[in-house]
Amino acid sequence: MSARDEILANIRQSLGVTGAEAPRRLDVRERLTQAPAGITPARGQGEPAARAAIFKTEAMRAQASVVEVASAADVPNEIARYLREANLPATLRMGEDPRLAAMPWVATALELAHGASDGHDLNGVSAAFAGVAESGTLALCSGLDNPTTINFLPDNHIVVVFAGDIVADYESVWKNLRARYGKGEMPRTLNFVTGPSRSADIEQTLLLGAHGPRRLHIVMVREG
């Protein structure tokens, strides 16, 4: 008997079942297809403007910096300003996200690089799939548009999130994911990011910038 069969047999013996019982199988099938929601906190709920405000407050509680701009066209200038004021070089790596590609980068002096990061980039920008108001969390999906390496390797991670993509809770992210990828399907990597990387492993002192980005800067775009 394989380890797999032995383990499943042990489980069934302990539970006093055979695995063939129709009601149990039905219970499991229904749970997997219907995916019932449990308790969703009231905190993130509300009108779009209220949700965006909560998202901003919660993200800042997690030590992210957040700036609002009126439209997508303002994003390159805002990022250039942020890098300049933080005394960082005017370089920026990004994927092929069409929303980012459509922005007027030429109006800035930013030196752009495209594709996955190999660990030699100081600054990276991604477009978020969603922002979650209840905890100020960003949801980022992997792919050519937004390579996962950009979320972790650069020292400074800038994330653009459109106000229309700010949702109340994690359950709303699942709903939107299913609409894009299909029920039961996921992008290869989905990252929930809440603030910049940190560690408290030395004497419980909280320090930012462990292995991931030292800074997380969120640019909220009001239109769209």
Partner 1 sequence: MSAHPTSAHFKDNAHEALRDASLQKALVHVRANFIARRAEAAQRLPEFEALRDSARDIKNHTLAHLDLYLEAYEAKVRELGGEVHYALTAKEGVDIVLKLCRERGAKSVTKGKSMISEEMGLNQALEAAGIEAVETDLGEYIIQLRGEAPSHIIAPAVHINREQVEDEFRRAHLHLPRDRDLSQPAQLLGEARGVLRDKFLNADIGITGANFLVAETGTSVIVTNEGNGDLTQILPKIHIVIASLEKVVPTLEDTAQLLRVLARSATGQDMSVYTTFSTGPRRSQDPDGPEEYHVVLLDNGRSSMLGGEFEDMLRCIRCGACMNHCPVYHAVGGHAYGWVYPGPMGAVLTPTLIGVKEGGQLPNASTFCGRCEEVCPVRIPLPKMMRHWREREFERHLSPATVRYGLAFWAFFAKRPTLYRLATDIGMRALHVMGRAKGRFAFLPFAGGWTRYRDLPSPEGATFQSQWRAKSRALK
Q: Give the span between the Cα atoms of 113 and 105, in whole angstroms.
A: 12
The type of residue at 214 is R
**For partner 1, which residue of 70, 85, 109, 205 counts as binding (CB under 8 A)?**
205
Which SS3 state, helix, strand or coil, does residue 161 take? strand
Q: Please identify, using beta-carbon distances, which residue of 69 and 170 lies nearer to partner 1.
A: 170
Q: Which residues contact 217 (CB under 8 A, 6 or more apart)?
A: 64, 65, 66, 67, 82, 156, 157, 158, 159
* Residue 33 CA: distances (Å) to CA of 23, 100, 172, 178: 15, 35, 17, 12
Q: Binding to partner 1 by residue 81, rule CB under 8 A?
A: no
Q: Binding to partner 1 by residue 62, rule CB under 8 A?
A: yes
Q: How far is the CB of 108 from partner 1 (least distance, A)?
A: 24
Q: Binding to partner 1 by residue 193, rule CB under 8 A?
A: yes
**For partner 1, which residue of 108, 123, 126, 135 counts as binding (CB under 8 A)?**
135
Q: By rule CB under 8 A, what count of residues binds partner 1?
A: 83
Q: Please identify, using beta-carbon distances, which residue of 38 and 98 lies nearer to partner 1.
A: 38
Torsions phi, psi for 105 (to 5 deg): -70, -30
Q: Give the span between the Cα atoms of 96 and 222, in whole angstroms.
A: 22
Q: How far is the CB of 71 from partner 1 (least distance, A)?
A: 28
Q: Binding to partner 1 by residue 191, rule CB under 8 A?
A: yes
Q: How far is the CB of 67 from partner 1 (least distance, A)?
A: 20
CB hemisphere CA count around 47 (13 angstroms)? 2
Instruction: Please list every residue from 22 through 51 that binds partner 1, using CB under 8 A.
Output: 24-25, 27-28, 31-32, 35-43
Q: Binding to partner 1 by residue 101, rule CB under 8 A?
A: no
